[in-house]
Structure 1
Amino acid sequence: MTVQNNKHLEQLVTAVNYEEVAQKFRPVFQKIAEGALDREKNRSLPFEAIQWLKQAGLGAVRVPVQYGGAGLSQQQLFQLLIELATADSNVVQALRGHFAFVEDRLNAHRDQSQEQWFKRFVKGDLVGNAWTETGKIEIGQVGTRITQNTRGELVVNGEKFYSTGTIFADWVDLFVLDETTGEHAIAAISTEHKGVNVADDWDGFGQKTTGSGTLKIDNVSISRDHILPFDQRFRYQTAFYQEVHLVTLAGIAQAAVETFSEEVRQRTRIFSHGNAELVRNDPQILQVIGKASAQAYAAKSVALNVAETLDEAFLSHFQNDESVELKANDQAELESSQGQVVLVELVQTLTTELFNALSASASTTAKQLDRFWRNARVVSSHNPVIYKQKVIGDFVVNGHALPYVWQIGNSPSVKEKEKAA
């Protein structure tokens, strides 16, 4: 897509050599990989790992070069995140909200300078995510609110769960209802405020160290310029969030193949009815590894193809043509949904069948080889794949638009039953 005569886009898009940028981060990724198994075994949050990434400037890789960032495209960003997810998939998910907020600010730069935010990202500031309400909030309702106190100050109060990455972050991308305007909004609040409290109470069986626990907001003051109308949020956000899951799955697949291949390479015990004197030379075992390697290749390819459509959606935002932008966003949403349906099954199958290359000793908790399946299963559970299959089918057969935004909450019928009781 060609976009001409747009000074804002010229500030955002440059030709960047991926290998030059990636080489800067690979030593950090290697250090992160070396500690991943211990963090998994001990459920130790990756504070140190994320600090290394902050210092290296990972949070600013999408920031334009002229503002001090690396200027990567989305496809390059997600290629880099596959490398990081191969080292530790938890770390990528912990940064999911940050990169989405950066993307939103890049889109907002079309209409108003976002230099202040770009400077924060380059300085190393990270943004956590907090959108999901806790408790028995009815679907469609938002309990986290911006109100005006008796002194005329704007304050935020509420509680969220799945506040992924916030425990590591400097800011929170907080979904709220602004009672002063009656509109949904994003409140960008500093985690340094004494009224911001994050609990490490996420207890999932996979992706254990993403910092996805409860966030409580108690009378946190906020200025009007840190309240961002939700209806101005970047359109392809749902596809973007899903793409982070896709590259996380691709990284898990790559890491699983590498780890199981090394286990096969080092294994000396064999079965009497096997096919070779060493497991590494057994054709049936090699078949298992070969199939998994091909599946991991496919997972990466699908994820990077989806990223191309996100770049197209980004460029379309600067066309000032509603029909062009809508078409590009529909395509991004469709392909990210199709990618989800394929990769969810592919990576879970891969991480299960790799155990056929080993034997019962592979189940030892010391090795945590089940972490690849557990992490893939939990990543795959965030956006129900059965509903994605349904909406894709409805789009293909009936031409009905895929939903860009959805919500989760208590069913109204539960409330009606409680009243009747």
Structure 2
Amino acid sequence: MSEVNSAEYAELAQRFRPIFARIAAGAVERERDRTLAREPIRWLKEARFGTLRIPVRHGGFGASLPQLFQLLTELAEADSNLPQALRAHFAFVEDRLNQPDSEDRRQWFSRFIEGELVGSGWSETGSIKLGEVITTVSPAEHGWWLNGEKFYSTGTLYADWIDVYAKRTDNNRDVIALVSTRQEAVERDDDWDGFGQRLTGSGTTRFRQAQVAQPHVYDFSERFRYQTAFYQHVLLATLAGIGRAVNRDAAQGVALRKRIYSHGNARLVKQDVQVLQVVGQISSWAWAVDATVQRATHSLQQAFDAAQDGADEARIHAANVLAEVESARAQAIAVELVTRAASELFNALGASDTRVSKSLDRHWRNARTVASHNPVIYKLRNVGDWEVNGNDPTFIWQIGNGE
């Protein structure tokens, strides 16, 4: 039996489904008014949603990776902004899980059990050369000073901490600095102006001599090895959730629709065979994406297990390659089918369903925005190169100006 269909998963999911329902109830209004999801984030914090992967012995829920991503899919069905807003948090938790037990790790677990969350500060824009990092951490008397500016800083508007990609000034090594948002030296702007995923808490974040505690700077080379696939899986779960939401809205919209066309096939839309075919197609696409994404999470679990079991390097490397390849395959399927479903939705409905008040266009906008984060064309090239030539996929990549 799949662990996401088990009694254990049902019990875990039931803890959060009432919260997901409350989140879904306000999703259209938040989208229409561009209201940040601060209250839904608070509900999730109070329910300790951010501790899903933390072991039970440390106060968390001890969820497996397939269980985590299935829950993120359910959350995305309610509001697709929220899994992406939590993306950096779950990645940092995963990184701590892959590190040896220590007082530092236990302190982070305790913070998360208290409801604290981590946001993202990796990407820099402007005249940045490919691979260049201009955000810096410099040694200080009691820790570090952090200076720089980040964009696409997803989740930071909701976060207590920010996971910042920076360069040390003393040895030029790339590092991750965890900086508290509870200081005036950290400035967060809600200036993300994308046409989708508008409530992910992204935008510009500036650090002006922000204080970082001595233990909270980590060498980037020590990050968990399947991190790229992990980050991608959060987006995959988001796409799968959008697919579910499209299916939900198509079925409900058709069931409730009263107006018909004179050249239709029935006296009620819900009995029109062509409209039913459209809904059936959407349902099948959403189901296929859900199944694909869930299947791929098991290779991610294998990568985690290989590291925890002390496997030899060959097995660990093979597990990480498979996790990356399967996440890329899943992305290709999810991007195509969810965006098609979000467009096909309107063939089942009518002109009245294009009204801004219903915000049904958000599904396509959100799916297309999520799909644009990691270009699928390069993922497919990686898969093809692995299949034909046996070459490893790209594990770490950067973005910046070319020559």
Q: TM-score, normalised by structure 2?
A: 0.96
Which of these residues, 267, 270, 281, is aligned with residue 257 of structure 2?
267
Does the aligned pair in 2 maintain the 1:319–1:325 contact within 8 Å?
no
Unaligned runs of 5+ in 1: 1-14, 414-421
Q: Distance in 2 between matches of 1:246 and 1:210?
A: 16
Please give the residue correspondences for 1:90-239 in structure 2 after superposition, counting only pairs within 5 Å. 90-109=81-100, 114-148=105-139, 154-239=144-229
Unaligned runs of 5+ in 2: 1-5
The Cα of 1:124 is off from its aligned counterpart by 0.6
Which of these residues, 251, 255, 258, is aligned with residue 248 of structure 2?
258
Q: Does 1:281 align with 2:287?
A: no
Q: Does 1:68 align with 2:75?
A: no
Please give the residue correspondences for 1:20-99 in structure 2 after superposition, counting only pairs within 5 Å. 20-99=11-90
Which of these residues, 297, 302, 321, is aligned with residue 307 of structure 1?
297
Does the aligned pair in 2 maintain the 1:330–1:401 contact within 8 Å?
yes
The Cα of 1:154 is off from its aligned counterpart by 2.2
Report the 3-state secondary structure (helix = DSSP H, G, I; strand = E; otherwise coil) of the residue aligned with 1:369: coil
Question: Which position in structure 1 is the counterpart of 2:362?
Answer: 371
Q: Distance in 2 between matches of 1:318 and 1:16?
A: 25
1:31 counterpart letter in structure 2 = R
Question: Which position in structure 1 is the counterpart of 2:281?
Answer: 291
Report the 3-state secondary structure (helix = DSSP H, G, I; strand = E; otherwise coil) of the residue aligned with 1:206: coil
The Cα of 1:110 is off from its aligned counterpart by 5.8
Q: Distance in 1 between matches of 2:366 and 2:392?
A: 31
Q: Distance in 2 between matches of 1:223 and 1:210?
A: 27
Does the aligned pair in 1 maintain the 2:41–2:158 contact within 8 Å?
yes
The Cα of 1:319 is off from its aligned counterpart by 3.1
Q: Distance in 1 between matches of 2:263 and 2:130?
A: 57
Does the aligned pair in 2 maintain the 1:16–1:71 contact within 8 Å?
no
| Bigger Cα displacement from structure 2, 39-48 vs 214-223 | 214-223
Does the aligned pair in 2 maintain the 1:16–1:72 contact within 8 Å?
no
Q: Percent identity?
A: 50
Question: Which position in structure 1 is the counterpart of 2:3?
Answer: none
Does the aligned pair in 2 maintain the 1:157–1:217 contact within 8 Å?
yes
Q: Deviations over 1:346-389 (max 9, x none)?
A: 10011111211112222111111111111000000000111111
Q: Deviations over 1:187-242 (max 9, x none)?
A: 01111022111100000101110011000001012233100110000000000011
Evaluate the alpha carbon distance shift between residue 334 and residue 189 of structure 1 in structure 2; reply closer, same or farther with a 3 A threshold: same
Does the aligned pair in 2 maintain the 1:242–1:336 contact within 8 Å?
yes
Report the 3-state secondary structure (helix = DSSP H, G, I; strand = E; otherwise coil) of the residue aligned with 1:286: helix
RMSD of Structure 2 on Structure 1 (CA):
1.4
Report the 3-state secondary structure (helix = DSSP H, G, I; strand = E; otherwise coil) of the residue aligned with 1:185: strand
Task: Give aligned pairs, total.
Answer: 397
Q: Distance in 1 between matches of 2:168 and 2:81?
A: 32
Question: Which position in structure 1 is the counterpart of 2:345?
Answer: 354
Q: Does 1:402 align with 2:362?
A: no
Does the aligned pair in 2 maintain the 1:90–1:210 contact within 8 Å?
yes
1:180 counterpart letter in structure 2 = D
Evaluate the alpha carbon distance shift between residue 146 and residue 16 of structure 1 in structure 2; reply closer, same or farther with a 3 A threshold: farther
Does the aligned pair in 1 maintain the 2:104–2:215 contact within 8 Å?
no
Q: Distance in 2 between matches of 1:76 and 1:358?
A: 34
Report the 3-state secondary structure (helix = DSSP H, G, I; strand = E; otherwise coil) of the residue aligned with 1:343: helix
1:346 counterpart letter in structure 2 = L
Evaluate the alpha carbon distance shift between residue 322 and residue 236 of structure 1 in structure 2; reply closer, same or farther with a 3 A threshold: same
Q: Distance in 1 between matches of 2:143 and 2:79?
A: 42
Q: Distance in 2 between matches of 1:398 and 1:200?
A: 45
Report the 3-state secondary structure (helix = DSSP H, G, I; strand = E; otherwise coil) of the residue aligned with 2:328: helix
| Bigger Cα displacement from structure 2, 108-117 vs 393-402 | 108-117
Q: Distance in 1 between matches of 2:290 and 2:66?
A: 11
Q: Distance in 2 between matches of 1:84 and 1:218?
A: 35
Question: Which position in structure 2 is the counterpart of 1:18?
Answer: 9
Does the aligned pair in 1 maintain the 2:148–2:207 contact within 8 Å?
yes
